[in-house]
Amino acid sequence: MHLSSLLLCLCLGALANCAAGSQWCYTGCEHTPSNWKDISGSFCGKNKQSPINITTSHVKIDQNLRNFTFVNFSSQHIIKSIKNTGHTVKGILKDNEAEVSGGGLNGTYSTIQFHLHWGDTEHHPGSEHTIDGHRYPMEMHIVSLKKGVPQPTEDSEGIAVLGFFINATDDGDMSGPWSTLTSYLTNDTDSEVDFNHTLSINDLIGNVNLAKFYRYMGSLTTPNCNEAVVWTVFQEPININKNLIQKFPMKTGLTNVFRPAQSMNGRHVYASPATPLPPSHPWCYDDHCEYSPSKWNMIPQSHCGGKSQSPVNIEARNAVTDEHLKAFSFTKFDEKHAIKYITNTGHAVKCVLKEDMLEVSGGGLGYDYSTLQFHFHWGSASHDSEGSEHTVDSHRYPMEMHIVNKRKDLSLEQAIQTPNGLAVLGFFIEAADAPKSSGGGSEHHEASPTSKPTSNTDAWKKLTSYLSHIKDISSKADVAEEISIEGLLGDVDRAAYYRYNGSLTTPSCNEAVVWTVFKESIKVDRNLMMMFPTHAGYRNVFRPAQSLHNRTIFTTASAPSVPGPVTLCLLLACLCALFNNLPL
Ligand SMILES: *[C@@H]1O[C@H](CO)[C@@H](O)[C@H](O)[C@H]1NC(C)=O
Ligand SMILES: *[C@@H]1O[C@H](CO)[C@@H](O)[C@H](O)[C@H]1NC(C)=O
Ligand SMILES: *[C@@H]1O[C@H](CO)[C@@H](O)[C@H](O)[C@H]1NC(C)=O
Ligand SMILES: *[C@@H]1O[C@H](CO)[C@@H](O)[C@H](O)[C@H]1NC(C)=O
Ligand SMILES: *[C@@H]1O[C@H](CO)[C@@H](O)[C@H](O)[C@H]1NC(C)=O
Ligand SMILES: *[C@@H]1O[C@H](CO)[C@@H](O)[C@H](O)[C@H]1NC(C)=O
Ligand SMILES: [Zn+2]
Ligand SMILES: [Zn+2]
């Protein structure tokens, strides 16, 4: 008697613990998406996770991705019940009736359920996958298990999920299949409601072209995030009335039920032959490709022929002093683990930062910006190489570093279409042992005091040590070393800079950039600088200067510089001498 009640307690205790341990949510609990990896037994921190952002310019056609075969998808009696699980709304299908095969799937999959992901009542979109950064209002997942596989969640292709984007229209059918489905929405998470209407899966899919889809290997998008899913994401969305979309957050009380995009970690996305992909427009800096810099303006949809293009030659003498160009405020630039990975884009070496970590404001920008990435432009591997994009009084520096920031209140998509959507901070890079001042310009060196100790060598050594890992174009390496932007910048003066409105310096050259070009250069060991062209395998990756047209370049007010008063004294002394010598 006592023993059995003790056992019962232990069992209940275990169950309670188990339930508490597996609790997860999208917001408002201990295990939000960024902490799902800490749930015991979960795979959420692994490297083949879903969802992802699909970058269409990187997608390759796979001829093996032929049409799907669907069984009983047009059956009007396939849906057994509807359930609010507390995380989503799920349509549970009758056992062993609907099936999917073909579409490049290896085997036949038995379809068991569909469910949805959505945003909130404020019209924020909530699809899980995104296409070139675009998030659709909703996403439907149709889940099927591979037949003949005893443990589908433990097989790398044990589960096939068909993902459909849902797009909001202003005036769609308010009485069709989706209206029927929404009539079952409830905030009651306990009950499973029998489905008493005639409705097929094909009714929900509508007229989406099922021959156009993307394919990649990934995971379940909720804990335990098992990496067992062959993903199909259809290119065309299901269009439904926006008022029906609103019913999902409103009637269920669940909002923003989607997981953020996960890293690709070297995975590829393929597409079926019928999927339209953006034409690839090979551009380069030399003339060994279809579009050399003088032809970038002919790349379809590019802005490279616009009137506010970058880079430019800065004529120091003509820069107009602007008192509003005050000090910048840099947030977390000293963070030593901010770099997510370093990659060789084929045009530059780029360090992609962790999202929403670093910020830039002040500096006369007028908005808060979040820092996305930094990258480099360089010349050749020779000692007198010149490879900066901007030039000052026609003087080209050996290298230029660009720190790219996006206005916090805009999505990337919006930012590249807004005149000040992006703020790029440009720093010239010179050899640490470079002789003081060279080339035509001298004024721009005025603000920089005599050469300083290079305190940033350590950071540059660590950064360049990764270049040998990314020799292949499109390759990338995780950055484990402690490297901060602050460490790379060292003690370079950030109060003296030029400001003008310009563009991205690579296609599509969007005129969305507020440019800051700092006057003082970062000093880096010459041998470390030479590693960029040597390891990347290409050189002279800078765009020639663009015409200023009627733009003005502004400058910070020159600091009360030491030479000023001295010069004045000398001048007075001269005048005195002059007067003294005059035979008055
Ligand atoms: C399709 O559904 C019907 C019942 O509606 C069922 O009899 C049939 O077996 C199903 N087809 C397959 C291939 O499972
Ligand atoms: C296809 O699936 C079968 C059975 O699950 C498996 O043995 C085989 O390796 C798979 N083939 C490929 C190409 O993945
Ligand atoms: C989404 O719906 C809007 C109308 O609300 C329409 O203009 C747009 O073309 C649709 N997008 C797609 C990809 O069908
Ligand atoms: C659930 O919805 C009903 C109306 O359909 C409402 O009265 C109730 O307050 C809601 N419950 C919660 C917890 O939101
Ligand atoms: C695949 O499906 C598309 C549209 O559903 C159709 O136009 C095409 O003919 C199909 N291809 C084959 C080989 O059946
Ligand atoms: C950039 O353009 C905006 C108008 O779009 C203007 O208000 C601003 O003064 C310009 N800034 C500079 C530095 O030219
Ligand atoms: Zn899902
Ligand atoms: Zn750049």
CA of 472 to the centre of ligand 6 (A): 40
Ligand 4 atom closest to Cα of 187?
Answer: 1
Which ligand has the shortest distance to the CA of 149? 2
Ligand 4 atom closest to Cα of 188?
Answer: 1
CA of 163 to the centre of ligand 5 (A): 19
Which ligand has the shortest distance to the CA of 108? 2
Distance of CA 234 to the CA centre of its chain: 22
Cβ–Cβ under 8 Å, residues 477 and 342: yes
Ligand 3 atom closest to Cα of 236?
Answer: 13
**Catalytic site residue 87?**
yes
3-state SS, one letter per residue, for 261-302: CCCCCCCCCEECCCCCCCCCCCECCCCCCCECHHHHHHCCCC
pTM: 0.59
Best mutation site among 165, 167, 246 for ligand 3 pocket (most ligand atoms within 8 Å of CB): 167
Query: Which protein residue's CA is at the shortest distance from atom 9 of ligand 1?
Result: 97
CA 461, 464, 465, 466 torsion-angle sign: positive
pLDDT at 440: 40
Alpha-carbon distance values, 111 to 153, 181, 279, 405 (Å): 15, 18, 35, 44
Determine whether the shortest distance from the Cβ of 151 to ligand 2 is under 6 A.
no
- For residue 415, the 8-state DSSP code is H
Q: Which 3 state secondary structure label does DSSP give 94?
A: coil
How does pLDDT run across 164-176, given as a tens digit for each residue?
999 999 988 889 9
Determine whether the shortest distance from the Cβ of 72 to ligand 1 is under 6 A.
yes
What's the CA angle centered on 332, arms 326 and 337, to 5 degrees? 150
pLDDT at 442: 42
Best mutation site among 62, 65, 106 for ligand 2 pocket (most ligand atoms within 8 Å of CB): 106
- Domain covering 3-271 in this structure, CATH number: 3.10.200.10
Determine whether the shortest distance from the Cβ of 67 to ligand 5 is under 6 A.
yes
- For residue 485, the 8-state DSSP code is H
Determine whether the shortest distance from the Cβ of 169 to ligand 3 is under 6 A.
yes
Ligand 6: residues whose CB is within 6 Å? Answer: 419, 499-501, 552, 554
Ligand 4: residues whose CB is within 6 Å? Answer: 187, 253
Ligand 5 atom closest to Cα of 211?
Answer: 2
Which ligand has the shortest distance to the CA of 425? 8
Q: Which 3 state secondary structure label does DSSP give 359?
A: strand
Query: Which protein residue's CA is at the shortest distance from atom 12 of ligand 1?
Result: 97
Residues in the chain, pLDDT under 50: 1-21, 437-454, 561-584
Q: Is the peptide bond before 51 cis (omega within 30 degrees of 0)?
A: yes
Query: Which protein residue's CA is at the shortest distance from atom 3 of ligand 2?
Result: 106
Which ligand has the shortest distance to the CA of 325? 6
- Domain range annotation of the chain: 3-271, 305-555
Cβ–Cβ under 8 Å, residues 144 and 160: yes
CA of 59 to the centre of ligand 5 (A): 21
Best mutation site among 64, 66, 67 for ligand 5 pocket (most ligand atoms within 8 Å of CB): 67
Class of residue 279 by CB neighbours under 10 A (exposed 0-12, middle 13-18, buried 19+)? exposed
- Please give the helix or strand (H or E) that residue 501 lies within, else none: strand 497-502
pLDDT at 558: 78
Report the distance separating Cα 409 and Cα 13, nearest Å: 47
Q: Which one of the listed residues 2, 77, 87, 445 is annotated catalytic? A: 87
CA of 404 to the centre of ligand 8 (A): 8
Determine whether the shortest distance from the Cβ of 101 to ligand 1 is under 6 A.
no
Token pair in block for residue 226: 């098992």
Determine whether the shortest distance from the Cβ of 211 to ligand 5 is under 6 A.
yes
End-to-end CA distance of the chain: 126
Determine whether the shortest distance from the Cβ of 106 to ligand 2 is under 6 A.
yes
CA of 304 to the centre of ligand 6 (A): 19
Q: Which 3 state secondary structure label does DSSP give 579?
A: helix
Report the distance separating Cα 276 and Cα 211, nearest Å: 11
CB atoms near residue 112 (< 10 Å): 18
CA of 157 to the centre of ligand 2 (A): 9
Q: Which CATH number fits domain 305-555: 3.40.50.1100, 3.10.200.10, 3.90.950.10, 3.30.420.480?
A: 3.10.200.10
Class of residue 433 by CB neighbours under 10 A (exposed 0-12, middle 13-18, buried 19+)? exposed
pLDDT at 57: 80
Buried b (16+ CB within 10 A) or exposed e, 357-372: ebbbbebbbebbbbbb
Query: Which protein residue's CA is at the shortest distance from atom 4 of ligand 3?
Result: 169
How does pLDDT run across 356-406, given as a tens digit for each residue?
999 999 999 999 999 999 999 999 999 899 999 999 999 999 999 999 999
CA of 261 to the centre of ligand 3 (A): 22
CA of 71 to the centre of ligand 1 (A): 8
What's the CA angle centered on 448, arms 444 and 454, to 5 degrees? 125
Report the distance separating Cα 215 and Cα 62, nearest Å: 9
pLDDT at 14: 35
Best mutation site among 69, 72, 76 for ligand 1 pocket (most ligand atoms within 8 Å of CB): 72
Best mutation site among 184, 187, 189, 193 for ligand 4 pocket (most ligand atoms within 8 Å of CB): 187
pLDDT at 82: 97
What residues are neighbours of ligand 7 (ion), with CB under 5 Å? Answer: 141
Query: Which protein residue's CA is at the shortest distance from atom 13 of ligand 5?
Result: 67
